[in-house]
Structure 1
């Protein structure tokens, strides 16, 4: 009886423990001025992911009863359900009409701190991507605004049984090629801002990842390169292969394909759960943002096709309203190429709350 109880407890812990974003992000900078960012999304279940187009002037509500603001810029976000079968309540990735991109990734060390006693403006962690993209046009603007810690990001558990913890950090990149990584440690924002910060994965914190990558950068990557799915190894591989792409390519198709190839290299294939590493999950999808040309690509691991939205052809005026298109699910896997015409009017996202 005791053995059966232990087995059940172990099975339940494995079912809940994988609820963590183990993802990768890399930004390629071309000699011709092109800036292209890719990211992978590793997760134990699908998100019912949609592209949401949110126009200028839209009245955002960062969390019920929290901060509200009008969008200064039109945005496209990849949003989905943080809990299987639940409502769409979080944006994980996105780009705005000015070419600013944002990627939300898992970070075990993240700590947004306790709720402030003051009337500090509050938003859901699920609204962080939209908050940044709808308010700012460049990385420098975001850094300048967030270094004063103007908002409180409300942490909320999610996933089956509420086992997913609100531990995330944010990478941002813009059309000039600038980059920054924003992490909340002990309740305060820690910002790493440098054009050279082209790669981000998960734990450890970004400063320690840079130290680890510096060690590996002295090795001959063609002979010795870490190959596991662990965050540190993915960081090293993404950095190595990003450099291998070079910077001289001018063919847009090959530029985008090159970034996709790096993200596929650091993706986790489908397979049985690993009891020893329950935080590692398969890659469900990848995105690529062409900051320069305003094209946002999406590739599901369950579809043979890549789809995209052309931001320059989207109507971001207030009268256009919020629109969306499903990217996961049986009907979505037949979509291919530009899918601007597949967008349909929809209700706004109600962001995750405790």
Structure 2
């Protein structure tokens, strides 16, 4: 069987179980253009027939030549020759618009960029100055850099590349006292509308001895993800390579076992963690341009070609250093677009050329080391990622530049101002996670380590805090979905997952899996399991006698308050006199409460060592006034009892 025949069979096999849904081309392409739906009396901007179909007009030809993308070149072109640029006619005179940032100067008064008889009013952009605006149109940003021309096509870009010197743990103070951010931040936002994933390593300063990371998977198409146990010795066949029909087959066996987030029912990992605590994750990057294994018109057979990069990393390497060294022994390339098209069940591009999914890779290990692998200008670029955060476009070194710019210009703090940009654009999410991840080490304000809501082990605390950060980029039910979120505990080798409709956190302990047993390979859908924990049975258990304490009658409390004297007068007394009065007041309260308790009017159980601290607390509150003392007394009783009851929770939890 010839290789093209094999490829065709592979595509048919992968797509046989799902019917490809037809897509209205007009609606699809309208969404790819600024004000695409706002041009009067036109449904299809790229066709001579305004209703669509038939021959393309001049704008349609230009749009086709740009790969069906709103590029800076297309924006600045005058397709119909009427003297106005396409951007001016469509309300994007500065070429700021992208599918995620959706920056539009105006939405009314737009005209047809493919019809010279239709023009916009020039007054709409007469006062618009674009000299300081950074275009976000596709392909506007340069991805060039200083690349070493070596045989491995690998380039190291240090953290200081392109002026982006970002510390490993950004100083929270660097986010304070910042000048106002330019209103053009939305114009800097890049990203892919079909994938808006986010990945980060939780702040090591705030994580104690733990190493924890998290990511979201955001996508328009249903990825049909499953968590799959992949034992050692599992055989992998690499998928066909983009633009390389002569690439030789390559099979390998996993040296390390791992749990993979596999998509579309095939053993290709989009995320996962292996038995050594190393994780690898695909995220979308439209700027990706994969290396080609074709050299001088022929296949370079000196090294095998790997397309399932995440699976290969998870199955072979235990640390970031191992990844750097090991990937030099293979060629990294993109999956043949026809296979990707079949797997993703997406409509074929108008030019009929299916392209490899544009992706980059985030790697974390149990030592807390980070690595980002990007494919820029046909080369594999290895970034040390001191920031620990990765989203989508633009490439990492440009994201770090935008973060540095934001840190120098943003005003306010995490509660007010524009320090935390809103929205779900790639750069917005990158900045938001970077700022919050730097600030999280400060902890909650006004609370002690003994606050009831903070009672947790280090493991529980750091996983919970990672989820808090993930929640800032999880999408509500609008547009594409956050299909699932993962938290990875690299040192404890625990993998946590929750899905869009099953928010109950589920955990897989990698240490409990038998990696040597090939028959242990099995999977669970990400939505598997119960979606809530019912606590009703605990409330129905007769052995559960825990309850809060009833307060005395109003008259009894008022009688106690009357014995405290005139609280305002106490503010005018010396500190020494106040201490004497506090002591006497404490005695009064203690005597009265003991009397109430002996009469059965106040049911309260206290340990002797708790009494002194309780009355010190009450006495200290007297100076605050009678009303303050009333509430403090009641709440102090509740707090003391809560501490006592806490000891009774564990047996119930263990039962």
TM-score normalised by the shorter chain: which range applies? 0.7 to 0.9
1:50 aligns with 2:231: no
Contact kept, 8 Å, 2:237 with 2:252, in 1: the verdict is: yes
Secondary structure of 1:267 counterpart:
coil
Contact kept, 8 Å, 2:271 with 2:282, in 1: the verdict is: yes
Q: Distance in 1 between matches of 2:267 and 2:27?
A: 27
Q: Distance in 2 between matches of 1:324 and 1:107?
A: 28
- State the match for 1:215 in structure 2: 405
1:308 aligns with 2:507: yes
After superposing the two structures, state which structure 1 stretch, 233-242 or 213-222, moved more: 213-222
Q: Report the alpha carbon displacement of residue 114 of structure 1 after superposing the two structures with TM.
A: 3.7
Q: Report the alpha carbon displacement of residue 230 of structure 1 after superposing the two structures with TM.
A: 0.6
Contact kept, 8 Å, 2:211 with 2:368, in 1: the verdict is: yes
Contact kept, 8 Å, 2:334 with 2:357, in 1: the verdict is: no
Q: Distance in 2 between matches of 1:317 and 1:100?
A: 18
Secondary structure of 1:211 counterpart:
helix
- State the match for 1:352 in structure 2: none
Aligned match for 1:166, one of 345, 349, 357: 357
- State the match for 1:77 in structure 2: 260
1:280-325 alpha-carbon deviations (Å, 9 max, x no partner): x221111010001111011101113111210011110144442211
Aligned match for 1:192, one of 383, 408, 411: 383
Q: Distance in 2 between matches of 1:318 and 1:176?
A: 27
TM-score, reference length from structure 1: 0.80
- State the match for 2:371 in structure 1: 180
1:87-113 alpha-carbon deviations (Å, 9 max, x no partner): 435311000000001111000000114
- State the match for 2:250 in structure 1: 67
Q: Distance in 1 between matches of 2:403 and 2:425?
A: 13
After superposing the two structures, state which structure 1 stretch, 8-17 or 259-268, moved more: 8-17
Contact kept, 8 Å, 2:292 with 2:333, in 1: the verdict is: no
- State the match for 1:34 in structure 2: 210
Higher share in helix: 2
Q: Report the alpha carbon displacement of residue 216 of structure 1 after superposing the two structures with TM.
A: 2.0
1:254 aligns with 2:461: yes
Q: Distance in 2 between matches of 1:89 and 1:177?
A: 27
Task: Could you list the structure 1 runs, at least 4 aligned residues long, displaced by more than 4 angstroms after superposition.
Answer: 14-19, 162-165, 247-250
- State the match for 1:240 in structure 2: 435
Q: Distance in 2 between matches of 1:198 and 1:167?
A: 21
Q: Distance in 1 between matches of 2:331 and 2:442?
A: 37
1:285 aligns with 2:484: yes
TM-score, reference length from structure 2: 0.45
Q: Distance in 2 between matches of 1:256 and 1:133?
A: 22
Q: How do 1:118-129 residues align onto structure 2 when only pairs under 5 Å count?
A: 118-119=300-301, 120-124=303-307, 127-129=308-310
Aligned match for 2:281, one of 97, 103, 106: 103
Going from structure 1 to structure 2, the CA distance change for 1:335 and 1:77 (only over 3 Å counts) comes to farther
1:3-44 alpha-carbon deviations (Å, 9 max, x no partner): xxxx94322445999773210011012453211110011111
Secondary structure of 1:99 counterpart:
coil
Q: Distance in 2 between matches of 1:312 and 1:145?
A: 25
Going from structure 1 to structure 2, the CA distance change for 1:66 and 1:334 (only over 3 Å counts) comes to farther
Contact kept, 8 Å, 1:53 with 1:324, in 2: the verdict is: yes
Going from structure 1 to structure 2, the CA distance change for 1:39 and 1:118 (only over 3 Å counts) comes to same
Q: Which runs of 5+ in 1 are unaligned?
A: 1-6, 82-86, 274-280, 338-354
Secondary structure of 2:422 counterpart:
coil
1:229 aligns with 2:424: yes
Q: Which has the higher contact order (CA 8 A, sep 6+)?
A: 1
- State the match for 1:9 in structure 2: 25
Going from structure 1 to structure 2, the CA distance change for 1:186 and 1:299 (only over 3 Å counts) comes to same
Q: Report the alpha carbon displacement of residue 133 of structure 1 after superposing the two structures with TM.
A: 0.9
Count of aligned pairs between the two proteins:
312
Going from structure 1 to structure 2, the CA distance change for 1:336 and 1:57 (only over 3 Å counts) comes to farther
Q: Which runs of 5+ in 2 are unaligned?
A: 1-22, 33-67, 69-98, 100-191, 241-247, 350-354, 444-455, 534-655
Contact kept, 8 Å, 1:147 with 1:189, in 2: the verdict is: no
Q: Distance in 2 between matches of 1:43 and 1:319?
A: 32
Q: Distance in 2 between matches of 1:304 and 1:100?
A: 25
Q: Report the alpha carbon displacement of residue 72 of structure 1 after superposing the two structures with TM.
A: 1.2
Secondary structure of 1:246 counterpart:
helix
Going from structure 1 to structure 2, the CA distance change for 1:25 and 1:323 (only over 3 Å counts) comes to same
Higher share in strand: 1
